[in-house]
Amino acid sequence: MDLKQLKEQGLAEIIESESLEDLKKVRDLYLSKKGLVPQLMTKMRDLSPEQRKDFGQEVNALKQRLLDESQKRFEALTQEEMERKLASEKIDLTLPGVAIDLGQLHPLTQIEREIIDVFREMGYSIIEGDEVELDKYNFERANIPEDHPARQMQDTFVIDIEYLLRSHTTAIQTRALEAFAPQLPIKVLCPGKVYRKDDDDATHSHQFMQIEGLVVGHGVTMADLKGTLELLARQVIGQDSKVRLRTSYFQFTEPSVEVDISCHLCQGEGCSLCKQTGWIEILGAG
Ligand SMILES: [Zn+2]
């Protein structure tokens, strides 16, 4: 192949190379140490000294031309590749974003906080205690000895001979009494989870919330209890709420009462929610 043919063919192959990989192959073929262009130099031997000079210059010029062209092609291919990449990774800024729901507090947490606020304003300390409790604080000190039928009634989750999952927040109260007495007055509110073996359905659960309040002081009467519960009902249920006490029995208190509030749905007229009585039982006290 003579110099002119080599030039035409080399330039054509450079321009036709479709990828950087192809281009490298073409460059190696023509311009590497043992490539087609350096091989031309072997023809120098057959030439006269004058011809050698011209031929040498022509070969160098060819080499430079091919280098320049392959550099141009390299830049063009690099640019093409980048554009292809940018097109394939294009981000559509007009797409709507992913909405993040903020959510809200669980209804139990909401009502628990509302009740806590009412009692905190009345000067109560809030104590949560531990869910794993000693039998001593859960039963014995709540006036429920080992053979007491209330222990079966409450179907407690027992961990071992000493520990259990507390079956009522009274366990927090018995601890509070031990911690604070004989300093009076004691005013504590004990909210928390309690556990009892129960078949879960719409109105029963093996785990539920209780909130208990405890007041110990001189001259504290049932009237204070009723006034406190009336304030609670007005603050949490509504300003028109009424409170009714009915005598009852609990192991922990004497005298004991069941506490009803006027039905907030029918305002005491009687409806299906209050079973036509106009009252809804909300808690036990004493
Ligand atoms: Zn009602």
Q: Measured in angstroms, how far is the CA atom of residue 229 from the centroid of ligand 1?
A: 19
Q: Measured in angstroms, how far is the CA atom of residue 242 from the centroid of ligand 1?
A: 13
Q: What is the pLDDT of residue 93?
A: 86
148 band by pLDDT with thresholds 50, 70 and 90:
confident
Average pLDDT over the chain, rounded to whole? 90
Q: How far is residue 140's CA from residue 168's CA, in Å, rounded to a whole number? A: 13
- Residue 218 vs residues 1, 224, 285: alpha-carbon distances, Å: 121, 12, 18
Return the SS3 of 170: helix
- Does residue 153 have a pLDDT over 80? no
Mean pLDDT for 112-128 is 96
Pair type for strands 186-195 and 125-126? parallel
Q: Measured in angstroms, how far is the CA atom of residue 184 from the centroid of ligand 1?
A: 40
Q: What is the pLDDT of residue 90?
A: 81
Mean pLDDT for 26-47 is 86
Q: What is the pLDDT of residue 15?
A: 92
Q: Measured in angstroms, how far is the CA atom of residue 142 from the centroid of ligand 1?
A: 34
Q: Measured in angstroms, how far is the CA atom of residue 202 from the centroid of ligand 1?
A: 20
- Does residue 123 have a pLDDT over 90? yes
pLDDT in tens, 185-233: 999 999 999 999 888 988 889 999 999 999 999 999 999 999 999 999 9
Q: Measured in angstroms, how far is the CA atom of residue 215 from the centroid of ligand 1?
A: 31
pLDDT-wise least confident of 90-94, 121-125, 183-187, 268-272: 90-94
Q: Measured in angstroms, how far is the CA atom of residue 246 from the centroid of ligand 1?
A: 18
Q: How far is residue 285's CA from residue 258's CA, in Å, rounded to a whole number? A: 6
Q: What is the pLDDT of residue 250?
A: 85
* Residues near 29 by beta carbon (within 8 Å), at least 6 away in sequence: 13, 35, 36
Q: What is the pLDDT of residue 227?
A: 95
Q: Measured in angstroms, how far is the CA atom of residue 274 from the centroid of ligand 1?
A: 4
Q: Measured in angstroms, how far is the CA atom of residue 282 from the centroid of ligand 1?
A: 14
* 151 class by beta-carbon count within 10 Å (0-12 exposed, 13-18 middle, 19+ buried): middle
Q: Measured in angstroms, how far is the CA atom of residue 264 from the centroid of ligand 1?
A: 7
Q: Measured in angstroms, how far is the CA atom of residue 189 from the centroid of ligand 1?
A: 29
- Does residue 285 have a pLDDT over 90? yes
- Does residue 151 have a pLDDT over 80? no
- Does residue 139 have a pLDDT over 70? yes
Q: Where are the alpha helices (DSSP H) in 34-148?
A: 36-40, 49-88, 107-121, 135-138
Q: Measured in angstroms, how far is the CA atom of residue 27 from the centroid of ligand 1?
A: 93
Q: What is the pLDDT of residue 109?
A: 94
70 band by pLDDT with thresholds 50, 70 and 90:
very high
Q: Measured in angstroms, how far is the CA atom of residue 261 from the centroid of ligand 1?
A: 10
N-term to C-term CA, the chain: 115
Q: What is the architecture, at CATH level 2, of domain 121-214?
A: 2-Layer Sandwich (3.30)
Q: Measured in angstroms, how far is the CA atom of residue 262 from the centroid of ligand 1?
A: 8
Q: Measured in angstroms, how far is the CA atom of residue 240 from the centroid of ligand 1?
A: 14
Q: Measured in angstroms, how far is the CA atom of residue 280 from the centroid of ligand 1?
A: 8
